[in-house]
Structure 1
Amino acid sequence: MDVVFRSIQGKLVVVYLLLIVVAMELASLYLMRELERSYIGKVQDDLHQSAQLLAGQLTNFFAGDRLDPEAVDQYMERWPGEVLVLDANGVVIGATARLSNREELLGLKFSHDDVSPAFFGNTNRRIGKEGSQRMAYEAVPITVADNVVGVIYLKDSLEEAYARLQDLRDILLVATLVAMASTVVLGVALARTITGPIRELTRTAALIAGGNFDQKIPVRSGDEIGQLAEMFNRMSRQLKETMSEIQDEKSQAEAILTHMADGLMALNRARRIIRLNPAAQRMFQIQELQALGRRPGELAEGSGLEEALEEAWDRNSALTRQIRLKDRVLQAYITPLTGEGRHSGGTVVVFHDITELERLESMRREFVANVSHELKTPLTTVKSYVETLLDGAADDPEVRDRFLRVVDGETERMARLVRDLLRLTQMDEGTLRWNVRPQDVGELVAETVGRLRVQADRKRLTVLCEVDPETPPALCDYDKIQQVVINLLANAIEFTPNGGQIRVSVAPEGADAVRVTIADTGIGIPAQDLPRIFERFYRVDKARSRSMGGTGLGLSIAKQIVELSGGAIAIASEVDRGTTVTFTLPAARTAEVRPS
């Protein structure tokens, strides 16, 4: 039953049924009341007419000052119905034969409330019951010359009238039931004409809610239901277009968030993480699922992120702060979200990785400081020696020659520094010209070793040069690779104590490369300095390196030349046991010639 009342069709049928029932009941009540009044009134009218007729007839039996009892009794015996005739004293002087106690009543004084008004000239009628019988009563005065000389008391059964009324009630009940059945059938049919399109709308709405927007409701009429279906179809089309636009925008936003280089962290109003894009996951070294629901400070303890967020929330405005993770420096742009929307109270944090910028800035500062220092020392030396010469030392040939040799050495040192810086700048900018072609690296190395043999002999160093005959030609710039070998071999000579050994070898590296190795038995490099050994101006023993005339750029130049040639360079070293530098070049038969 509850399900019936929940549906519109059931409600419509019930409403129609109730309307019919109420209408039929009201009509039946009114009709039955009027019929009852009519039937009962007719019975009473018949009694009254009979009483009037009888009263007129009985006046014929008035003799002297009273009615003749014998004549009245004889006349009344043949009268139909149940009638009593009383004289002026209330004594029964006549009765109809239908009265079962007729003989007992004759001659008795009849005293009843129904007849009392009649002795005063008033007609009295009443409806009552005798046992289970419903009766109509009437008392009519018999008057002669305006004097009441007797009373006629009549009664008649109403059962026949009520039986007819009951038949009419049964007929009305059947009619009501037929009307109710017809109403149910017609109501269901009519309700279906309304609920059918509504059910179709509901089914289509469910499909649309499930994401199927390719739904169309047939418009079968021009009424309100038809207009609703037409508007629903229009809404479905617009919703499909809107959802398509939203999906496109969402896909674009998702693609941007996924592939953007900056990290993004979104917090809800409870200040818990609800989104972490891939860049932020890499920065904080955590998966998004592991970060969801946690506080930002848990991902970066001691970084200053939590304090920056608290400051932004307190100020309720955007701010920028620098935070430091274990191995990264991040610029955090914090924006609290305000407003009345469901996302109000949240926070968006964008992280820009400035680790490389910080490193480059540090290198720039160190580079400037190193260049300044490298130039300051020889310039100071040259200036002091020139001032000494100007003050008169130039008159002494021995002192003048010695001072000029020092000035020449310092000038050459500065010129070397400028040349190295210029070469690095050209390689950084890509303006350095290359003459790339197949070269015999064994011959190149042997020539370079011969050029530096004198320096090695001064320190009584043993220099061994080994070239594998199977070594293929390398595709490279002869002069630049020779510069690499010179830099590496010069370092080995400088940092190997007297009587040490240097081994230079050239051999194939697989089928596609040529390997050059320079190993010495020198002072070695501490392990903590190895990661920075190829940085510009980096020196392990700064005082000693500078006293040996180095610029601190040799290894940087060598690394950049090798990498621009398509090879790689590596270094291994142990303190007091020597250093081994290895670099590779692409073999000529498989490598591609780089444009100059």
Structure 2
Amino acid sequence: MGIPNTSRPYEEWAILFRKMWRSTMGKKLFLTFLIILSLLVFTMGFFAYQQTREMYYDVVESGLQQSVEALESHIDTRASFEESPPVSYIQTIEEATGYRITLVDQEGVVLVDTQEDPAVMDNHQNRSEIQKALSSGQESMAIRFSDTVGLDMMYLAKKVEFSDGGHGIIRTAIELHLMNHILSNHLMSLIVFLLISLMVAALITRILLGIILKPVHKINRFAEEIAQGNYNDRMLIHQKDEIGDLAKSLNDMADRLKNNFKTLNRKNIELETILKNVMDGIIVIDSQFRIKMISQSAFDLLQADGIDDYKNKNIVEVMRNHRVLDLLKSHFEEDGLQEQSMEVKIHEKIFRLTVRRIPQQRKGDRFLVIFQDITKIKALENMRRDFVANVSHELKTPITSIKGYIETLQENAIEDRETVKRFYQIIHMETER
């Protein structure tokens, strides 16, 4: 039992891909689908990244908010806020979350900061998040550059009302470069995923295009065979779609063309046989005086070396008889004239030349020129004319003689019987001639 050739399907697909890539339609379709897929994939990736970024920002903001609420639950009086803040608890939250925590009194003075010494820090009353929290009484978030640590930060500040009067600000913050690092890693993973998805989609698209264009290539090869005159091949495409209908129509067209060309060839053979055996010379010319068809008799008349030498040549080049050319020109110039005839002498022979118009629907009219050899007819006519003249002459001489003798006998009373008898004998002799 032989080992199956598993490489053949791959070779067929490789050949199909090469044909598709050489195909202009294949390239256009593949590039079009690739552009559409790229736009679709990267648009989805962009929105996915934006959604992920917003979701991550929301998660971070929620974490900052929870830290503020946890601190707020341990601070209820001004003394607990200004004099003995829960530093240990603040440090615990800072270590657990990595957030920067700042306590600011109502005058903007920094009381506690987990990353800097409050004594050297500027007054924070003009910070945007603190101003919004003081004015609105609600949580306020801001993303800005920190002059203290020299980094971009996300801040969340909340106004705290004390039970013994007054208020303060609890603020939590996180460095944006940490968030951006996480988002960058996520973005790189997303880009890799999108590129892999795009490559897989491009491969699937190429395979599908190969399957779709395979019958198109068959149709193209079939059309080339028809163009070369091969009407025997047929396409075996049985798809129930437009391509299948096209293949069926092309097969039907090939059948009709084959039958039409058979009929045309048969008629051409019949026409060539007629032209070779017809006694009259026949030439077909177009409106530019070019010879399109010539019979054997006309060929012999023009004394050509070969019939093909005269095809598509101007009749003026091969026929120097000015009377014939004048007749052709006059017939060409008069559109309504259908037929003209004249007698012309060519090579010591007499021909009756007839020109007939052959109307054409698309191109200019063609003209049928018939050369009928009437040399023998003319010779017979001359013989008949000479014969009649001779007969007339031969008849006229005895009749004149007889007439003279009869008139003499009638007008003169000739009593001499011998003379009368001699006249009768002469008349009898003339009638016997």
TM-score by length of 2: 0.81
Partners of 1:42 and 1:219 lie apart in 2 by 59
SS in 2 for 1:348: strand
Larger RCO, structure (CA 8 Å, separation 6 or more): 2
What's 1:230 paired with?
248
SS in 2 for 1:93: strand
Moved more, 317-326 or 400-409: 400-409
Equivalent residue runs for 1:48-197 within 5 Å: 48-60=65-77, 62-63=78-79, 67-71=81-85, 76=90, 79-80=93-94, 81-96=99-114, 99=115, 101-105=116-120, 108-110=122-124, 111-120=126-135, 121-129=137-145, 134-144=152-162, 149-197=167-215
1:134 and 1:159 in contact (8 A); partners too: yes
Partners of 1:186 and 1:37 lie apart in 2 by 33
SS in 1 for 2:194: helix
Equivalent residue runs for 1:377-388 within 5 Å: 377-388=397-408
| Residues 510-561 of structure 1, C-alpha deviations (whole Å, 9 max, x = no match) | xxxxxxxxxxxxxxxxxxxxxxxxxxxxxxxxxxxxxxxxxxxxxxxxxxxx
> What's the CA shift for 1:90?
0.7
Name the CA shift for 1:297/1:37 in 2 (closer, same or farther; >3 Å).
closer
1:216 and 1:233 in contact (8 A); partners too: yes
SS in 1 for 2:289: coil
Partners of 1:133 and 1:15 lie apart in 2 by 45
What's 1:244 paired with?
262
Partners of 2:299 and 2:164 lie apart in 1 by 124
Name the CA shift for 1:305/1:17 in 2 (closer, same or farther; >3 Å).
closer
2:139 and 2:158 in contact (8 A); partners too: yes
What's 1:534 paired with?
none
> What's the CA shift for 1:180?
3.0
2:302 and 2:318 in contact (8 A); partners too: no
Name the CA shift for 1:239/1:318 in 2 (closer, same or farther; >3 Å).
same
What's 2:47 paired with?
30
> What's the CA shift for 1:50?
1.4
What's 2:61 paired with?
44
Kindly indicate which of the two structures has a greater share of residues assigned to strand: 1
Rg bigger for which structure?
1
What's 1:458 paired with?
none
SS in 2 for 1:59: coil
SS in 2 for 1:211: coil
2:142 and 2:154 in contact (8 A); partners too: yes
Q: Count residues with an aligned counterpart.
A: 405
> What's the CA shift for 1:398?
5.9
Partners of 2:66 and 2:418 lie apart in 1 by 180
> What's the CA shift for 1:7?
3.4
Matched, 1:346 2:366: yes
Partners of 2:319 and 2:287 lie apart in 1 by 18
SS in 2 for 1:320: strand
Q: Which amino acid aligns with 1:388?
A: T
Partners of 1:122 and 1:296 lie apart in 2 by 108
Equivalent residue runs for 1:448-463 within 5 Å: none
Q: Which amino acid aligns with 2:131?
A: S
SS in 1 for 2:169: strand
| Residues 98-143 of structure 1, C-alpha deviations (whole Å, 9 max, x = no match) | x1x325436x522423322222224321223569955311222122
Q: Which amino acid aligns with 1:330?
A: F
> What's the CA shift for 1:38?
0.4
- Identical columns (%): 24
Partners of 2:92 and 2:43 lie apart in 1 by 46
Partners of 2:92 and 2:74 lie apart in 1 by 13
2:100 and 2:174 in contact (8 A); partners too: yes
TM-score by length of 1: 0.60
Matched, 1:317 2:332: no
What's 2:11 paired with?
none
Equivalent residue runs for 1:185-224 within 5 Å: 185-224=203-242
Equivalent residue runs for 1:436-447 within 5 Å: none
1:16 and 1:183 in contact (8 A); partners too: no
Name the CA shift for 1:386/1:26 in 2 (closer, same or farther; >3 Å).
same
Q: Which amino acid aligns with 1:114?
A: E
Name the CA shift for 1:209/1:189 in 2 (closer, same or farther; >3 Å).
same
Partners of 2:222 and 2:297 lie apart in 1 by 42
| Residues 273-305 of structure 1, C-alpha deviations (whole Å, 9 max, x = no match) | 333322223334445424743244861423254
Q: Which amino acid aligns with 1:14?
A: L
Any gaps of 5 or more consecutive residues in structure 1?
414-596
Partners of 1:16 and 1:398 lie apart in 2 by 135
Partners of 1:127 and 1:297 lie apart in 2 by 97
1:119 and 1:148 in contact (8 A); partners too: no
Q: Which amino acid aligns with 1:336?
A: R
| Residues 335-389 of structure 1, C-alpha deviations (whole Å, 9 max, x = no match) | 33445412x2332222323333233223222322221222111222222234334
SS in 2 for 1:281: helix
Q: Which amino acid aligns with 2:133?
A: A
C-alpha RMSD of the superposition: 3.3
